[in-house]
Amino acid sequence: MARRYDSSTTTFSPEGRLHQVEYAIEAINNAGTSVGILAKDGVVMASEKKVTSGLLAPARTSEKTYKLCPHATCTVAGLTADANILIDQARLRAGRYAYQYQEPIPIENLVEHVCNYKQAYTQYGGLRPFGVAFLFAGYDIHHGFQLYQSDPSGNYSGWKATVIGANNQAGKSLLKTEYGSSSSSGDEMKTDEDPAKEEIEMPTTAEALRLAVKVLNKTMDGAAASPEKLELFAMTLDEDGNCVHKILNAKEVEAVIAEVESETATAGDT
């Protein structure tokens, strides 16, 4: 029955499903893993770099993390070519907003614009959904540091910590135990939780980097972590209140990996 409805993005199946959108989401679940963690003093994002061939020349710029504007960055999981179209849309929207209103665009406003663009590709005939998911990290004066996740359907949500890409469920399971208190609902890391509940204590940026490496260690199917396989990014504020975007170099990544291995060894001894 599904085969009668899976060739169109505009036709619902009798079960109320859009199969092409679900297929796009499934494609992302086979992409390299990306982790986003909200910290007290910034936002941390970590990504798995998949090396398809040793003959490929090293990339001169990041293929996972993209700067959208001075106060916003995104990490990609899925088809990079599709992501480039949406990244251009986000940069254009941020620039036009700054020109029109003479102030930086609020982060959720930027995320909503990109997601509206993605949703349109699930509603009109002759188009296919974008096969890419994003983690958006940013800072604005209204809500401070923020982390959002979006998928090909056009939905987005705010998170304190989340994982997209391959083995994301395993990564989220680890975050539930390592980041704040756990609950049976599975949504304890979302930022729209009941304010009456106990506040989750956020880690520092350094602690978030170590936690991100732990998550990637679990999602990479036993492959040993190394600077060639991981990309770590941190967004913080400088003394003047400006956002600082930093992709850690190989030595810094190696140092974080060594700290995680030391913590793991110590925990094993106890």
Tell me which residue of 43, 65, 57 sits closest to 247, measured CA to CA. Answer: 65
33 in Cβ contact with 97 (< 8 Å): no
Residue 184 has pLDDT above 90, yes or no: no
Between CA 44 and CA 145 the distance in angstroms is: 10
Q: What is the pLDDT of residue 18?
A: 83
Q: What is the spatial distance between Cα 217 and Cα 74, in angstroms, rounded to a whole number?
A: 21
**Of 227 and 254, which is predicted with more confidence?**
254
Please classify residue 101 by burial: count the beta carbons closer than 10 Å to its beta carbon, then call 0-12 exposed, 13-18 middle and 19+ buried: exposed
The answer to whether the CB of 86 falls within 8 A of the CB of 134 is yes
Q: Phi and psi dihedrals of 232, rounded to 5?
A: -115, 135
Determine the Cα–Cα distance for residues 40 and 9; give it in Å rounded to an integer.
Answer: 41
Of all residues in the chain, what percent are helix, strand and coil, respectively (each to 5)? 35, 25, 40
The rounded distance, in Å, linking the Cα atoms of 250 and 219 is 21
Say yes or no to pLDDT of 265 above 90. Answer: no
| Strand ranges (E), 141-213 | 144-150, 156-158, 161-164
pLDDT, residue 182, reads: 38
Asked if the model's pLDDT at residue 97 lies above 70, the reply is: yes
DSSP, residue by residue, 32-95: PPEEEEEETTEEEEEEE-----TTSPPPSS-SSEEEEETTEEEEEEE-HHHHHHHHHHHHHHHH
If pLDDT is split at 50, 70 and 90, which confidence band does 77 have?
very high
Sign of CA pseudo-dihedral 70, 75, 81, 85: negative
In sequence order, what E strands does the chain have? 34-39, 42-48, 65-69, 72-78, 132-140, 144-150, 156-158, 161-164, 230-237, 243-247
Task: Say how far residue 182 (Cα) sits from the centre of its chain.
Answer: 21
The rounded Cα 155 to chain-centroid distance in angstroms is 14
Residue found under tokens 């169109």 = 8
Residues 135-177: pLDDT tens digits? 999 999 889 999 999 999 999 999 999 999 999 999 999 999 9
Whole-number pLDDT of residue 185 = 44
Q: pLDDT tens across 191-238, in order?
A: 655 554 456 788 999 999 999 999 999 998 767 788 888 999 999 999
pLDDT tens profile 11-34: 788 888 888 888 888 889 888 899
Closest C-alpha to 235, from 158, 141, 97, 136: 136
Torsion, Cα of 27, 168, 212, 155 (10° steps) = 70
pLDDT surpassing 60 at residue 2: no
- pLDDT for residue 256 is more than 60: yes
What is the pLDDT at residue 222? 64
% of the chain with per-residue pLDDT over 70: 88
- DSSP symbol at 11: -
Q: How confident is the model at residue 106 (pLDDT cuts 50, 70, 90)?
A: very high
Q: pTM of this prediction?
A: 0.88
